[in-house]
Structure 1
Amino acid sequence: MQERLLAGAAVAVLGLTGFGPAASAQEEDGVQENRRLKTVTITAQRVEQNLQAVPISVTAISGAALEARQIDSFDQLQYVAPGLSFNAGINARQSASTIRGIGTSLFNIGIEGSVAIAVDGVVMGREGAGIFDFSDVERVEVLRGPQGTLFGKNASAGVISIVTKDPTDEFAAEFNASYGSFNETSLSAAVSGPLADGVSGRISGYSTTRDGYITNINPNAPQKDINERNEHGFRGKLRFDGSDTFDLTLGADYSKRDQASGALTLRSASSPGVGTGLLGYGVQVVGPVSAFSGIVAGPDNKQIASDAAFTSEMESYGGYAEANQKFGGFDLVSLTAYREWKSLDNNDADLIPRPFLAVNSGDLSQNQFSQEFRLVSPRNQPLTYTLGAYYFHQEMDQANTQSGTAGLDILGALPAGLLLGTDLVSTVEETNMALFGQAEYELTDKLTAIAGLRVLNSDISADLSRSVTPGAVGPFAGQSVTASPLTGNTEDTALVWRLGLQYFVNDDVNVFTTVSRGYKSAGIVSGLTINATEVGGTELPTVDPEVPTQLEAGIRAVSLDGRLVTNFTAFRSEIDDFQAQALVPGPAGIPIFSVTNAGSVETYGLEGDVTLLPMDGLTLSTSFAYTHATFDSFSEAPCYSLQPVGPGDCVDTNADGKGEYQKLDGKALAQSPEWIINGLARYDFDLTQKLGGFVQVGAQYRGDAISSNTNDPNTALDAYTLVDAQIGVNFWEDRGALSVFGRNLTDEHFVEAIVGQAFDTGGYAQFQSFESEQSFGVKLSLNY
C-alpha cells in the first residue's frame, strides 16, 4: 500500500495541478516520445505526499509555473487557481481571499478572514501579513474547504500555503529581470549552496516598481499617478544537517511596500431625489464637481480629482526555526516562529477637491508568536498518523483618524474653516491553543479510512477609545467619543474533525469521500463607527463562531501511460453563523462597515482539471470551478443604500416609511462567480541544436458576480475573459530564457469591486486592478 501511495497515480501536472505549465515539458526517461507528466510532491497534510494520492481538493502551482504566467504577486493568484477570488480592497488591512464563495473582507482587527495564509507552515494572524511578492517560491498550494484539523488556526474556507525554496546541496544561482508597460520593472536574484560541512544556505531578494494606472487630474494633487507598485524584500535560509537523524532550518524574511495606492474611481453619481446625494440630503456634490473637473463617471473611468494623498506603506518581517528529529521511524518536528506586520495607509474617499475627508488614515501594528510540535509516524505501516500541539498568540494595535468637514459646511451645518474629526485607538489580543491529530488506516489493500480531530481554545480580548481629533470642533459625522474605553472578550472551545474513505481502484485511479467540520473563532466588532451593545454601556459587540460542515467526493486518475491526468472533486458545504460584512447606510448618511452573523450559507459545486501531453512538445491543460454559493438563511440582513421599501425589499417593521432589514435567503454571496475556467496551451520545440523555443497561450473566464453582501444590484460584476501569451527562446543549455509576453491581450475591461460612493448616497465607486490593463513586456531568466 505504501508503494501505491508513493506512486499514487504516478503523476500530476508539470508542477501545476490542472493548469500547466512547467518550466519545460521534460520526460521522465529522457525520451521525448515517452515523456510523462512529472510527479508533484505537496505538503497539504503536513507530510510530503504525491498530490495524486491526497484526498483533498488542492491546486498546487509551482514557482516555475508562476513565472511562466507572469504571476508575481499574491493578488494575481486568483487568475490561475480556480475557485479562488481575491478582493484587494483599498489597503492591506481590508484585503481578503474567498474560496468556494466563502470569505470575509473586513475593516475590523477583531475578526479574521475565513481563508488562512501559511508561509513555510507558519500561519499568519491576519491575511494582509501574508500578501507579498512570489519571488523565490517553490510552490503555492491552494487547499479548498475546511482545513482546521492540521493547519494552525481557523481556516474555515481553506488554506493558501506558500512554500519557499530551500537551500541546495550544490551551488546554484538564479537571476530574473523584466520590463513592461507602465514602466513595470522587476528584478530578482537568489544564490544557494553549501557553506560548510553539513551547512547550506540560500539568500534571495527582489524589487518591483510600476507606474500608476489611475490619474489624479487635480492640478494641486500631491500625486499624479495612483495605484502604482513599489516593493522590495529579501529572504534567507540556513540548513544544518547535524546527522542522518537531525536537521535544523532557520529562516528570516523582510518585505516592504511604499506606494501611492488604494484609489477607487467614480462609476456613477447619484441622481437628484429624496435621500440621495451629500449625506442623503438631496444635494449633489460629488457628481457635479467631478464633471466640472473633467471626469466622465462610468465603468471606464480611470481618473479622480482628489486633493489628499493616497498612501500604502507596509512592512512584514519575521523568522522561524524548524527542527526535525528522526527516531525509530518517527519524525518529531518543532516549528517556532515570530512575525511582525505594520501597515500605514491613507485614502481620500471623496475623490474630489473638497475636504470632506481630509484625513482618512489607519496605522496597524501586529506581532505574533507561534509554536507547533508534530509527531509523524512511520509511513510504511497499515496505520499512519500525525499528532501535534499548537500555540499561537498575537497582539494588534491600531490607530485611525477620520477628519474633515463631511460636507456639513456645504449644508450650512458647520461654519467655514472648521473641521470635525475622530481619533480611534484600539487593541486586540488573541491566544489560540490546540491539540490535533489525523490518522489513516488500511482496511484492505485498496481501502483506507481517514480520521482527524482538533480540539482548540480561542481567547480574544479587545478595547477601543475614541476622542476628538486635536484641532477639530467635534467628532466626525456619525461618530461619537467614548467617555471610557469600550472593551470586549470572547472565549470558546471547539472540536474540528474530518472523516473519510479513500479507495485505490488500481495504481492509476483512486476515489475518495470525506466529511469535515471546520471552525472560525468568534470575534469582537471594533471600529470608528462601532458603539457599545447598550446605551451608556462599555461592552463591545461580538459575532459568534463561523462553523462550516463540508461533504466532498473526488476522483484522481492517470491514463495514456502517464500523459493524461484527470482530477474531479464535487463538494457541498453548509456554514452556520457565517460572519458577513456589508457597507450599509450609517446614522449620518455616511456608509459604514457592519459585521454580523448570517443565519447560514450553502455552497456546492464541482472542480476539475485535465492535463494532456498529446504530442511531442505540446502540453494542454484546463481547469474549472463551478460554485453555487448562496445565503440559505439571512432573514435580517442590512439593506443597501436607497433600497426600495416593501415586503420584498427593505422591510419596514414600524410603518415609518424607512426599511430596517431585508431577507437574503437564496441570494448569492459576494465575490463568488459561478464559473471560473482556465486554459493553457504550451509548445516547446528545437530551433537549433543549442537553442529551444516555446510558445504559450493562456486564458481565464470568470463569470458574473455580485460585489456586495447586501446584494445591491448596482454592484453587479460582469463576466470577463483574460488572455495572455508568451513566446521565447531557451539558450545556455536551457539555463537561460528570453521571452516576450503580453497580458490581457484582448484589452478586456473589468472591475474587481463596486461599492457605494462616499458622501454621495446613490452614487457608486469601483476598484480596477492592474490586470484590467493591457500590458506587454520582455523577460530574461538565468539559472546556474
Structure 2
Amino acid sequence: MIAMTAAMSAQAQTSATSQADVRSDGYTDIIVTAQRREERLVDVPASIVAISGEQLTRAGVNGMDDLTRQAPGVIINKTGAYLQPTVRGIGASVQGGGAESNVAIYVDGVYVASQTGAMFDLANLESVQILKGPQGTLFGRNATGGAILITTRDPSHGLSGQINASYGRFNEYKLSAYVTTGLTDTLAADLSTYYRSSDGFVRDLRTNALRGEQSSLDLRSKLLFEPSDDVKFVLSGSHNETNDPAGLNYTSLNGNTVGRNFPNSLPVATDRRHVSQELPTRIDANTESVALNGSIKFDFATLNLISGYRTEEDYIETDLDSSYAPASYATYDQFNDSFSQEINFTSPPGADFSWVIGAFYYWNAAGSKSWNLNGRPFYKARITSDSISGFADGTYDLGRVSVIAGVRYSSEKRRFKRGLPGAAYTVDTSATFNSWTPRFGLRYDVGDRSNIYATFSKGFKSGLYNISSPSTIPVLPEKIDAYEVGFKSASRLLDFNAAAYLYKYNDIQVTAYDYTSGVSRLFNAAKAEVYGFELDAAWRPSANFDARAAIAYTHAEFTRFPGAPAFTPSATLLNGAPCPDRNCGNVQSLADASGNQMLRAPELTLSAAANYRFPLGNGGEVAFGVRPYWSSKINYSFQERIRQPSYFTLDADISWSLNEQVRLTLWGRNLTDATYANSRSESSARDAIAWAQPISYGIAGSYKF
C-alpha cells in the first residue's frame, strides 16, 4: 500500500535504500527488498514506508519510537522497559522474557527478539523500511502486524566518511562518526561509532534531582569480502549500551496510586517534568551481536545466507506505584540470547517468473535469573524457543496481469522453566505450535509506473507461557487473516498511493498486571476486526522543492472480548476508610470489552513534510524543512478508561551547506510543545503515564570526506 518516503527529492530517494534506478527523465525508482529480492517500490503489492538514513538524521530521529511521526498508522511506544510497535492496530500488550513483538524487527536481515534490546538509537544507517500488514510468508517470525527492516551501511573500497555532532536542550549531545576504506582489491572495512547523552527533562519532586538521565553507545564494524561480481560476503559485529529510564519514569495519572495508603508517600507527582519514586528508575541494556550476510550468484538463482547471533543482558529497577511509599517496587535482571540462520534462493532479475524459496532456523533463550518484588526474591524463569520454517513465494507476469502466491510452514517448540532464585526449577514444561501462512494476490499494471493490486495473507504469532506465573498452560497462538487492495503510481512530478484493508484477528494474547501479588494474568482475548484506508502523495515541482502528505484511518475494535481485565479507582483505603477523590489505587475485575477500541490504535493520523533548498553561488545551499504530525485520541485500556487525547507536533530545521562536505543546522522538535504521552497504562497499583519530551531545539553540524 503506502509507498511513502519522508522527503521526496531525487537525491533523498536514491539514499532511501541500498540501490536505486535512475532513469533518463531524472526520476529515481526506489528499490526495496520487501519481497526478499530487489524490486521497484512501486511494483511491490504491499504497504511500505521507505526512509533513508539521511532523512532520519535530518528529521532528528534518535530511537525507534521516533519513527511514529514518520509513518501514519504506526505507533511505537516505550511501555516500561519494552518497545512495543503497533501497525494498523496490531501490536503486543505482552511483555517480559520470551514475549516477542507482533511487529518483527530485523537489523541487516537478522531478527531482534528482545523488546528491551529493540530500544536502540538509529545512527549511521542506510535505510529503514516499515512493512505494514502481516508478513506471514516472507518475514514470518511472529509478524502479525508488520516488519521493520533496518539496514546499516556496507563498506566501500574508496576512502570516505562522515562526522556528525549535535547539541540541544536538556543538555543533549550526540556524536557520531563513520569511516570506510578498501584494504585490498577484494576486502573493505568500515567503523561506525555513536554516542548520545542527555540530562532528560524529568526531576524528583522532593529533591529536584535529575531522574531522566540517558546515554547510548553504539559501536559497529563490517568487513566486506567481494572476490568477484558474483560473490559477496559481509561480516559484521556490534556492541550497544543503552541506559534510558524514560519508559519507566511514570507519574500517576490524576494522582491515582496505592501509595496514598502509606505514611510519608506524599507529594505525588502528576506533571510531565517531575516524578515521585521511592526507587529511582534504571533500564540498563547491553547487547552484542555478530552477523554474516552472503550472496553467491549462479546462472539459475542467487544463493543468500543470513546468519546472526545476539546476546543481551539487562538490569532494571522500577517503582510500581509512582509514589514515595514503599508500596510496590521491583528489581530484576533479564537475558535474551538468540541465533538464527536463513538460506534462500532468489530468481535472476528480468524474468517473467520471479521467485524466492528458503528455510529459516531460529533459537532463543530468554528470561530472568532473579526477579525481586518489594526487596524479596520472587522467581527466576527461562523460556527457550526452537523454530524451523520453510517458505516459497513467487510472482508470474502475464502481460499486464501478475499472479502472486506464496506459503510458509512454521513449527516451534517452546520450553518453560520456573523456580525460586538460587534454587532448582520447580516447573519444566513444553509445547509445540505449527502453522501454515499463505498469501495470494493479483496486480494489474495500468502503466509503466502505476498499478492496482489485491492480496490476501495470513499471519501467525507463536503461543507463549506466562513468565510471572507457575502455570504450565500456554496461551494459544494469535492468527490473523488480512485482505488489502491498493493503487500505486510514481512519476518524476508526483507519487500517489492508496490502499484499503480488512483484518480478522483471533486469539489475541493479552496481559494484565497485579502488582500486589506480582503475578500478571496472560490469556487469549477472543476476536477483533480492523479495517481502514491510507493515502499518501509526494510532489516534486522543481529540483529545489518537494512536499509530501499522508493520512491513515484505522478502525480497530474488539468484536468479542468477554472477561477483559478492568481496573476501577478504589473508593476506599486499604483499611476501609473512604478514599479522597477515589485515587488510592485500583480494584481489578472483569468486564465485557466487546465493541471497544483496541489499544494503541488511533482512528486517524496525519503527517506531512515540505523541504525547500535555495542554492548559493559558491556551490552551497540554504535548506528549510517542516514536518507536522497529528494523531487522534489513543486508547490504552480495554474498558477505554485510560486515553491519550489528540495532539499535534511540529518539527523543523534550517540548514546551511558551505559545500557538499560541510553543513550546519538549527533544529527544533515538538515546537508546539504538545503535552502527550509516550505510554499510558493501568494496574492494581496506579494509573500511570510516561510523558513525551517537551519542546526541544539545538544546533548540529556534519562534515563528509
User: Shift in Å at residue 346 of structure 1?
Assistant: 0.4
1:75 aligned to which of 65, 81, 88: 65
2:447 maps to what in 1?
A: 506
The amino acid of 2:639's aligned partner reads: N
The alignment status of 1:567 with 2:490, answered yes or no, reads no
Contact 2:607 2:627 in 1 (8 A): yes
1:647 maps to what in 2?
A: none
1:711 maps to what in 2?
A: 639
User: Shift in Å at residue 597 of structure 1?
Assistant: 0.8
1:304 aligned to which of 272, 275, 299: 275
The amino acid of 2:653's aligned partner reads: Q
SS at match of 1:518: strand
Task: Tell me how far apart the structure 1 counterparts of residues 275 and 192 of structure 2 sit (CA, whole Å).
Answer: 38
The amino acid of 1:324's aligned partner reads: S
Task: Tell me how far apart the structure 2 counterparts of residues 193 and 119 of structure 1 sit (CA, whole Å).
Answer: 22
Contact 2:387 2:413 in 1 (8 A): yes
Q: CA offsets per residue over residues 33-84 of structure 1, 9 Å max, x none?
A: x985532111111111111111110001110110111112111111101111
1:695 aligned to which of 608, 619, 624: 624
SS at match of 1:543: coil
1:408 maps to what in 2?
A: none
| Structure 1: 4+ residue segments shifted above 6 A | 25-28
Do the aligned partners of residues 365 and 284 (structure 1) sit closer, same or farther apart at CA in structure 2, a change above 3 Å counting? Answer: closer
Contact 1:450 1:499 in 2 (8 A): yes
SS at match of 2:677: coil
1:552 aligned to which of 484, 493, 505: 484
Q: CA offsets per residue over residues 298-324 of structure 1, 9 Å max, x none?
A: 4x3422232323211111111111221
The alignment status of 1:610 with 2:537, answered yes or no, reads yes
Contact 2:568 2:588 in 1 (8 A): no
User: Shift in Å at residue 18 of structure 1?
Assistant: 4.2
1:664 aligned to which of 585, 593, 612: 593
The amino acid of 1:50's aligned partner reads: R
User: Shift in Å at residue 195 of structure 1?
Assistant: 1.1
Do the aligned partners of residues 62 and 693 (structure 1) sit closer, same or farther apart at CA in structure 2, a change above 3 Å counting? Answer: same
2:669 maps to what in 1?
A: 743
Alignment RMSD: 2.5
Do the aligned partners of residues 700 and 259 (structure 1) sit closer, same or farther apart at CA in structure 2, a change above 3 Å counting? Answer: closer
Task: Tell me how far apart the structure 1 counterparts of residues 6 and 200 of structure 2 sit (CA, whole Å).
Answer: 30
Superposition TM-score, scaled by structure 1 size:
0.83
Do the aligned partners of residues 269 and 757 (structure 1) sit closer, same or farther apart at CA in structure 2, a change above 3 Å counting? Answer: farther
Do the aligned partners of residues 380 and 484 (structure 1) sit closer, same or farther apart at CA in structure 2, a change above 3 Å counting? Answer: closer
Larger Rg: 1
2:404 maps to what in 1?
A: 450
SS at match of 1:574: strand
Any residues of structure 2 matched to 1:675-686 within 5 Å, and which? Answer: 675-686=604-615
Contact 2:140 2:459 in 1 (8 A): no
Q: CA offsets per residue over residues 657-687 of structure 1, 9 Å max, x none?
A: x995221111101111011110111100123
User: Shift in Å at residue 23 of structure 1?
Assistant: 9.1
SS at match of 2:170: helix
Contact 2:527 2:558 in 1 (8 A): yes
1:171 maps to what in 2?
A: 159
Task: Tell me how far apart the structure 2 counterparts of residues 244 and 558 of structure 1 sit (CA, whole Å).
Answer: 31
* Structure 2: tracts of 5 or more residues without a match: 16-23, 572-586
The alignment status of 1:426 with 2:381, answered yes or no, reads yes
Do the aligned partners of residues 324 and 580 (structure 1) sit closer, same or farther apart at CA in structure 2, a change above 3 Å counting? Answer: same
Contact 1:71 1:77 in 2 (8 A): yes
Task: Tell me how far apart the structure 1 counterparts of residues 484 and 244 of structure 2 sit (CA, whole Å).
Answer: 42
1:409 maps to what in 2?
A: none
1:391 aligned to which of 352, 361, 365: 361
Q: CA offsets per residue over residues 440-465 of structure 1, 9 Å max, x none?
A: 112x2111100011011010011111
The amino acid of 1:728's aligned partner reads: S
Any residues of structure 2 matched to 1:138-177 within 5 Å, and which? Answer: 138-177=126-165
SS at match of 1:67: helix
| More strand, by proportion | 2
Do the aligned partners of residues 334 and 688 (structure 1) sit closer, same or farther apart at CA in structure 2, a change above 3 Å counting? Answer: same
Contact 1:335 1:373 in 2 (8 A): yes
1:213 aligned to which of 188, 201, 204: 201
Contact 2:333 2:371 in 1 (8 A): no
Superposition TM-score, scaled by structure 2 size:
0.92
Do the aligned partners of residues 21 and 445 (structure 1) sit closer, same or farther apart at CA in structure 2, a change above 3 Å counting? Answer: closer
User: Shift in Å at residue 712 of structure 1?
Assistant: 4.0
User: Shift in Å at residue 483 of structure 1?
Assistant: 9.9
The alignment status of 1:621 with 2:608, answered yes or no, reads no
Q: CA offsets per residue over residues 348-367 of structure 1, 9 Å max, x none?
A: 2233333224x511211111
Worse-matched range after superposition: 482-491 or 150-159: 482-491
SS at match of 1:88: strand
Contact 1:489 1:524 in 2 (8 A): no
2:113 maps to what in 1?
A: 125
Any residues of structure 2 matched to 1:367-406 within 5 Å, and which? Answer: 367-404=337-374
Contact 1:145 1:158 in 2 (8 A): yes
- How many percent identity over aligned positions? 26
Contact 2:140 2:460 in 1 (8 A): no
Task: Tell me how far apart the structure 1 counterparts of residues 618 and 424 of structure 2 sit (CA, whole Å).
Answer: 79
* Structure 1: tracts of 5 or more residues without a match: 1-11, 29-33, 271-276, 405-419, 470-481, 533-539, 645-657
SS at match of 1:143: strand
Do the aligned partners of residues 36 and 622 (structure 1) sit closer, same or farther apart at CA in structure 2, a change above 3 Å counting? Answer: farther
Task: Tell me how far apart the structure 2 counterparts of residues 139 and 643 of structure 1 sit (CA, whole Å).
Answer: 48
Do the aligned partners of residues 670 and 260 (structure 1) sit closer, same or farther apart at CA in structure 2, a change above 3 Å counting? Answer: closer
Task: Tell me how far apart the structure 2 counterparts of residues 23 and 328 of structure 1 sit (CA, whole Å).
Answer: 33
Q: CA offsets per residue over residues 206-260 of structure 1, 9 Å max, x none?
A: 00001121111334xxx92122220111111111112232121111111101345
Task: Tell me how far apart the structure 1 counterparts of residues 70 and 466 of structure 2 sit (CA, whole Å).
Answer: 34
The amino acid of 1:243's aligned partner reads: S
Do the aligned partners of residues 371 and 531 (structure 1) sit closer, same or farther apart at CA in structure 2, a change above 3 Å counting? Answer: closer
Q: CA offsets per residue over residues 170-193 of structure 1, 9 Å max, x none?
A: 221111100000111001010012
The alignment status of 1:496 with 2:482, answered yes or no, reads no
1:472 maps to what in 2?
A: none
